[in-house]
Amino acid sequence: MKKWILAAGLCCNMAFADVAVVVHPSNGDSLDKATITRLFLNKAKAFPSGTQAEPVALDEGQPATDEFNGKVLNKTASQLTAFWSKLVFTGKGQPPKTLGTDAEVIAEVASNPGAIGFVDSGAVNDSVRVVATF
């Protein structure tokens, strides 16, 4: 019984892992939740400094994606799908580029001064700068 409780506890902790929002190390902007939300929902196209922003997301179904969508964007996967379908259909925007793993997002952000992405906080390394954790 104790093993089952421990396993359930570990499983639940994995589902609530922190999500780190990362940018290129040269990006000195301070970003709050509202600014990050605006960047990822195509409501802002540049960082506060004026640098063009290029959001990068993890593929749908990743635990960090679900956490980010809920905690930062306040949307479910189906709500985001409807949101982006409308913007694409009307020609008003494209969803962020999606990548399959935390390592791919980190590599993309580390190689692009305008990129902003999110990953599981445990995947962060010194090639990117964390601007927020949720």
For 20-75, how does the pLDDT look when each residue is reduced to its tens digit (9 = 90+)? 999 999 999 999 999 999 999 999 999 999 999 999 999 998 999 999 999 999 99
End-to-end CA distance of the chain: 33
pLDDT of residue 13: 44
For residues 12 and 42, the model is more confident at 42
Q: What is the mean pLDDT of residues 108-118?
A: 98
pLDDT at 17: 72
Could you please report the per-residue DSSP string of the chain?
Answer: -HHHHHHHHHHHHHHT--EEEEE-TT------HHHHHHHHTTS--B-TTSPBPEEEEEPTT-HHHHHHHHHTS---HHHHHHHHHHHHHHTS--PPEEESSHHHHHHHHHH-TTEEEEEEGGG--TTSEEEEE-
Q: Nearest to residue 112, comparing CAs of 25, 35, 46, 42?
A: 25
Find the mean pLDDT for residues 97-116. Answer: 97
For residue 16, name the pLDDT band (cuts at 50, 70, 90).
low
Give the residue, 37 or 7, on which the prediction is more confident. Answer: 37
Percentage with pLDDT > 90 across the chain? 87
Token digits of residue 41: 């929902």
